[in-house]
């Protein structure tokens, strides 16, 4: 493998980008992330900060095109805005790798500690990348490891950032060994110990969580209707789609659940406002004595007559009560234009996007003594948002999604795997209803109990235990990432004052 390092830097960058990109679902090649950064390590330690930034950017573009190509396949908008979204996302996200590579090279040139700064700076980079309206933790390295349940168990303590830290240390150990930097035997043994330790810890924790007692059982009838989202709102198909959902609701009720779960924007109607569509559902739920949670769009009118549109969820209780949740984190340039709340003129831009208003309340629904919260589609990729629902009292989380816009690309598969990370982080059950798939049931251990493939119409009963506890991550959040970031700042500060 040493001969690989003799190749031009641009080739090493492409190799690293390719390996890392292929490590993401659905290819089940997560092990590539254990070695994927090794060619980049060589660039960071043997080139100037400027060159490191350039080649890191090339590697990032390569990795992001491979893992995020599905952004360019959104059938809900025209070719130009969709292609522009893909290009914009790839180029924007590449900036983080570029700054990271530049920082590593700069620290190495001034202190010689560049190699050992990598795990710390990487975690800091991922954490910083999660902030703001353009925050995108979707592609955190932890997503590459969801096939390995023992590895992701550490997320209950560190969030996804502990998994990334471990991955970078493994890459570092292998790089040291291949380049004969230090005592080979000690490096090999230490790297092996670090590699195996997370598997041992994770295995112990996995079976501990599986064996924890439950206070009660809960049952949710989950519906995956498999309706083409491009046809759902067509007038000619409206009644047909409503009738289909009604027939699937009958099936769901016969399973005798504690509640029924429909996917995002399940019906082509404003359910809260459209009494003619909602009343038949209310009658069914009253007769069955169980509630229905459905995704729906909604509209409110302000004091001056201004209209606000929301992507939301509505709980229809059997006693006629209604309770709404409005999506808090919207998808930039798809559901709203960033900064349009401060500059309303931006809403007039037309990229084929919706102009929804962000919700503000971390809603908790109650069914008897059981409390849960719902997140909508993209929100399930955001660890801190899901954690806030848990802190508000949710004992399990439902996810309503509509990945039908992305066809059979990698997008829906990655989206489902993100739900596994949220389950482990917070140690609670995730119940997912997706319009065209992938719907499923995920236990607090990350184990997938039920998984309905793409393009399948199905109703299934998700039965799971309710546990009365929270994880360290649910209680304290990104403490690990914060501590690592403090160390990164100290390293940068040391490099600043150190004479090269």
pLDDT tens for each residue of 94-116:
999 999 999 999 999 999 999 99
Domain at 386, CATH number: 3.60.110.10
In angstroms, the CA 255 to CA 220 distance is 9
179 or 58, greater pLDDT: 58
In angstroms, the CA 408 to CA 69 distance is 12
444 and 493, same domain (yes or no):
no
194 and 101, same domain (yes or no):
yes
352 and 394, same domain (yes or no):
yes
Enter the pTM of the model.
Answer: 0.93
Does residue 338 carry a pLDDT above 80?
no
449 and 488, same domain (yes or no):
no
How many Cβ atoms from other residues are within 10 Å of residue 320's Cβ?
Answer: 11
Residue among 386, 381, 459, 457 at smallest CA distance from 418: 381
Q: Are 372 and 395 in contact (CB under 8 A)?
A: yes
In angstroms, the CA 212 to CA 98 distance is 44
DSSP string covering 422-484 = HHHHHT-EEEEEESSS-EEEE-TTS-EEEEEPTT--EEEEEEEEE-----HHHHH-SHHHHHH
Residue 473 lies in a domain: no
116 and 230, same domain (yes or no):
no
Burial category of 351 from C-beta neighbours within 10 Å (exposed 0-12, middle 13-18, buried 19 and up): middle
Residue 344 pLDDT grade (very low, low, confident, very high; cuts 50, 70, 90): low
Task: Tally the domains of the chain.
Answer: 2
In this prediction, residue 342 carries a pLDDT of 57
205 and 224, same domain (yes or no):
no
203 and 341, same domain (yes or no):
no
266 and 140, same domain (yes or no):
no
Residue 299 lies in a domain: yes
What is the mean pLDDT of the segment spanning 218-225? 97
Does residue 180 carry a pLDDT above 90?
no
246 and 137, same domain (yes or no):
no
Residue 238 lies in a domain: yes
DSSP string covering 195-245 = HHHHHHHHHHHHHHHHT---SEEEEEEEEE----TTTTT-HHHHHHHHHHH
Q: How many residues does the chain have?
A: 500
85 and 200, same domain (yes or no):
yes
Residue 76 lies in a domain: yes
What is the mean pLDDT of the segment spanning 301-317? 91
283 or 1, greater pLDDT: 283
List the domain range (segments joined by +) for residue 129: 2-210+478-497
451 and 484, same domain (yes or no):
no
In this prediction, residue 1 carries a pLDDT of 54
199 and 326, same domain (yes or no):
no
In this prediction, residue 345 carries a pLDDT of 55
């Amino acid at each position: 493998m040493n001969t690989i390092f003799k190749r031009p830097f641009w080739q090493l960058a492409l190799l690293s980008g390719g390996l890392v990109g292929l490590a993401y679902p659905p290819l089940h090649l997560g092990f590539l992330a254990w070695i994927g950064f090794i060619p980049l390590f060589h660039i960071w330690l043997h080139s100037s900060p400027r060159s490191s930034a350039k080649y890191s950017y090339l590697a990032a573009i390569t990795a992001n095109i491979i893992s995020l190509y599905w952004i360019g396949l959104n059938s809900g908008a025209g070719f130009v805005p969709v292609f522009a979204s893909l290009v914009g996302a790839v180029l924007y996200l590449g900036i983080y790798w570029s700054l990271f590579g530049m920082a590593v090279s700069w620290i190495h040139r001034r202190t010689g500690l560049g190699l050992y700064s990598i795990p710390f700076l990487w975690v800091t980079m991922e954490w910083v990348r999660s902030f703001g309206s353009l925050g995108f933790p979707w592609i955190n390295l932890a997503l590459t490891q969801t096939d390995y349940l023992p590895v992701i168990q550490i997320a209950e303590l560190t969030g996804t950032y502990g998994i990334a830290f471990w991955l970078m240390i493994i890459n570092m150990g292998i790089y040291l060994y291949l380049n004969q930097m230090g005592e080979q035997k000690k490096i090999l043994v230490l790297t092996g110990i670090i590699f195996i330790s997370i598997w041992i810890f994770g295995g112990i924790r996995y079976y501990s969580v599986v064996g924890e007692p439950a206070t009660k059982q809960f049952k949710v009838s989950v519906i995956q209707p498999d309706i083409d989202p491009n046809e759902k709102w067509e007038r000619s198909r409206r009644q047909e789609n409503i009738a289909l959902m009604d027939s699937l609701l009958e099936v769901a009720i016969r399973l005798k659940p504690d509640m029924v779960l429909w996917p995002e924007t399940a019906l082509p109607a404003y359910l809260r406002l459209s009494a003619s569509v909602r009343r038949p559902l209310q009658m069914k739920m009253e007769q069955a004595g169980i509630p229905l949670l459905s995704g729906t769009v909604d509209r409110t009118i302000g004091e001056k007559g201004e209209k606000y549109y929301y992507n939301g969820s509505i709980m229809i209780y059997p006693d006629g009560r209604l309770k709404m949740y409005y999506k808090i984190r919207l998808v930039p340039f798809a559901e709203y234009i960033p900064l349009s709340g401060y500059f309303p003129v931006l809403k007039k831009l037309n990229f084929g996007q919706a102009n929804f208003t962000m919700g503000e309340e971390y809603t908790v629904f109650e069914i008897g003594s059981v409390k849960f919260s719902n997140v909508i589609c993209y929100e399930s990729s955001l660890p801190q948002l899901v954690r806030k629902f848990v802190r508000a009292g949710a004992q399990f989380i439902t996810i309503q999604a509509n990945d039908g816009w992305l066809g059979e690309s990698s997008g829906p598969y990655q989206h489902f795997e993100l739900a596994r990370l949220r389950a482990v982080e917070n140690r609670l059950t995730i119940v997912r209803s997706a319009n065209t798939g992938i719907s499923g049931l995920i236990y607090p251990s990350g184990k997938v109990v039920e998984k309905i493939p793409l393009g399948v119409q199905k109703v299934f009963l998700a039965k799971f235990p309710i546990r009365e506890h929270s994880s360290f991550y649910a209680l304290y959040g990104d403490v690990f990432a914060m501590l690592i970031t403090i160390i990164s700042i100290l390293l940068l500060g040391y490099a600043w004052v150190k004479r090269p």
